[in-house]
Structure 1
Amino acid sequence: MSNLINNETINILYKEIAKVIDNSKRNIVAAVNSEMVILYWNIGKIIKTEILQSEKAEYGKSVISDLSKDLTKEYGKGYSQRNLFNMVKFFETFQDEQILQTLSAKLSWSHFVKLFYIDDDLKRDFYTTMCINEHWSVRTLTDRINSMLYERTAISKKPELTIRNDLKQLNDKNKMTTDLFFRDPYVLDFLQLQDTYSEKDIENAILADLEKFILEMGRDFAFLGRQVRITVGNKDYYIDLLFYHRKLRRLVLIELKLGEFLPEHKGQVELYLRWLQKNEMNEGEEPPIAIILCASKNDEEIELLEVDKSGIHVGQYLTQLPPKELFQEKLHKAIERARDSLASREIE
């Protein structure tokens, strides 16, 4: 009996101490990372202000080359010529030391290397904010940049002031707007669908690779069910996919359409939303929203139907990512059209 009590006591103590050790290790790693990031920023500052902006600027590259050799010899390969220039770029991009102190506790040097090569300030702020709030790894950040997440998010089509306000709200209050959540198009290339497929095939593929689908939608997305039955009167209907978004604090239904978006889809999904609001919405939650994922859509038709006023977002899905240049051009044109449309409405 004594041995049993002794073993149980040791086991409890072991778990408590292991927890303290693990927490301490995480804190040490975070502190070391933060110090390294600030160190690199300070090195970039010295090189920028004392070498590249001095009267010796024409000798800058050769000076940095010699400096790199000396630093590498003494402190290791982290001080290569390329990395020293990265530190300069880092300082040039994030010049506010107070903001840097905050970010350095949340992002690694590898994250910063991806971020400071984004030339557009607004786009960089978007990726920085989303990276911190959704705890993206460096690989995830790279994938999101390569898939042009910013350009695909509804917020990119809004005025700059709206974008900055929404990002600030997410940073300061941990509150996300639907514009930061909705995308168009949705990139579902990871589903590996064949040339011929049905709506059921898409649904099955999403559920088979739910982790990647949720990563495309956002990490606060939680799966609730498929083919969720609702009954209106004596008639049954089925919601393709039902999720919950924690930051939005609302149910999100997804309706999958194999072909193009049709006006009648709006009425169908409005019915589902009203049923969910009446029967499934909990106290403190926002009204449910819907995403209709379709193979193609007519933007003018969607605008005339005013589907957004019903809490419905219509997004095209891509089962294959097109060539980057073509994709980039298409998205930039869509952003310009959306902003022009907003501007014309304000004039009216």
Structure 2
Amino acid sequence: MASEINREEFLGISFSHHMEILHKTKDFHEILFYIHQTVLHKWDKYDLRNRLKEGLYQKQGVAANNFLQTMPVNDARKAVGMFKDEYLLDYINVEEMEVDKSEDIDEKVIEQAIVRNIKKFIMTFGRDFAYIGNQYHLEIFLTYRL
């Protein structure tokens, strides 16, 4: 276990960060995950607390690969980390969407939900802003002078 701990990351966060992580995690790999993410994203104690409440570790995708079986552990973790997207789309209530529950929600459904939220957000600013539409085609002509 000690060989898996990145000493620089471990020492790179405050005692308060360590206390937050230790009080709200159960698994050794979860602890290492939150230490790494705290250093990587420069989270303050409150950002870390929010990520712990959100259950970021549990929400991360499990990729179907054989990295752990074919590569050294540290290299495998780096490889898996390269393929993960850290998008938190908690504001999209998948349960409320009118889609067939037997199928996974596809990209188009997620896009529509995001656009609906953006439109509502922009419209709250009043008449000084405009929502033109999603995937709106813009043609931009640039001229260069030498």
Deviation at 1:167, TM superposition (A): 4.1
Q: Does 2:119 match 1:204?
A: yes
TM-score (norm 1): 0.24
- Paired with 2:20 and 2:67, the residues of 1 have a C-alpha distance of 22
Q: Which residue of 1 aligns with 2:38?
A: 131
- Residue type of the alignment partner of 1:145: L
- Paired with 2:76 and 2:122, the residues of 1 have a C-alpha distance of 31
Question: How many residues matched?
Answer: 105
Aligned ranges 1:1-348 → 2 under 5 Å:
96=2, 99=5, 101-117=7-23, 118-155=25-62, 161=68, 165=75, 167-168=77-78, 176-181=81-86, 186-188=89-91, 199=113, 200-205=115-120, 227-230=134-137
- Paired with 2:77 and 2:61, the residues of 1 have a C-alpha distance of 13
- Residue type of the alignment partner of 2:90: V
Deviation at 1:131, TM superposition (A): 1.2
What whole-Å deviation, never above 9, does each CA across 1:104-137 have from its counterpart, x for those lacking one? 5420110111222322112222211111111111
Q: What's the secondary structure of 2:84's corresponding residue?
A: helix
Query: Would the alpha carbon gap of residues 101 and 164 (structure 1) be closer, same or farther in structure 2, given more than 3 Å must change?
Result: closer
- Paired with 1:115 and 1:160, the residues of 2 have a C-alpha distance of 27
- Paired with 1:103 and 1:142, the residues of 2 have a C-alpha distance of 18
What whole-Å deviation, never above 9, does each CA across 1:242-285 have from its counterpart, x for those lacking one? xxxxxxxxxxxxxxxxxxxxxxxxxxxxxxxxxxxxxxxxxxxx
- Residue type of the alignment partner of 2:84: D
Query: Would the alpha carbon gap of residues 140 and 179 (structure 1) be closer, same or farther in structure 2, given more than 3 Å must change?
Result: same
What whole-Å deviation, never above 9, does each CA across 1:299-324 have from its counterpart, x for those lacking one? xxxxxxxxxxxxxxxxxxxxxxxxxx
- Paired with 2:67 and 2:27, the residues of 1 have a C-alpha distance of 12
Give 1 or 2 for the bigger CA radius of gyration. 1
Deviation at 1:139, TM superposition (A): 0.6
- Paired with 2:67 and 2:26, the residues of 1 have a C-alpha distance of 16
- Paired with 2:34 and 2:67, the residues of 1 have a C-alpha distance of 15
Q: CA RMSD in A?
A: 4.1
Mind listing any 5+ residue stretches in structure 2 that lack a counterpart? 93-111, 124-132, 139-146
TM-score (norm 2): 0.50
**Which is richer in helix?**
1
- Residue type of the alignment partner of 2:91: L
**Which is richer in strand?**
1
- Paired with 1:207 and 1:111, the residues of 2 have a C-alpha distance of 36
Query: Would the alpha carbon gap of residues 122 and 104 (structure 1) be closer, same or farther in structure 2, given more than 3 Å must change?
Result: closer
- Paired with 1:129 and 1:140, the residues of 2 have a C-alpha distance of 14
Deviation at 1:180, TM superposition (A): 4.7
What whole-Å deviation, never above 9, does each CA across 1:291-342 have from its counterpart, x for those lacking one? xxxxxxxxxxxxxxxxxxxxxxxxxxxxxxxxxxxxxxxxxxxxxxxxxxxx
- Paired with 2:21 and 2:66, the residues of 1 have a C-alpha distance of 22
Mind listing any 5+ residue stretches in structure 1 that lack a counterpart? 1-94, 171-175, 190-197, 209-225, 232-348
Q: State whether residues 67 and 79 of structure 2, in contact with CA within 8 Å, keep that contact through their aligned partners in structure 1.
A: no
Q: State whether residues 150 and 156 of structure 1, in contact with CA within 8 Å, keep that contact through their aligned partners in structure 2.
A: no
Query: Would the alpha carbon gap of residues 164 and 150 (structure 1) be closer, same or farther in structure 2, given more than 3 Å must change?
Result: farther
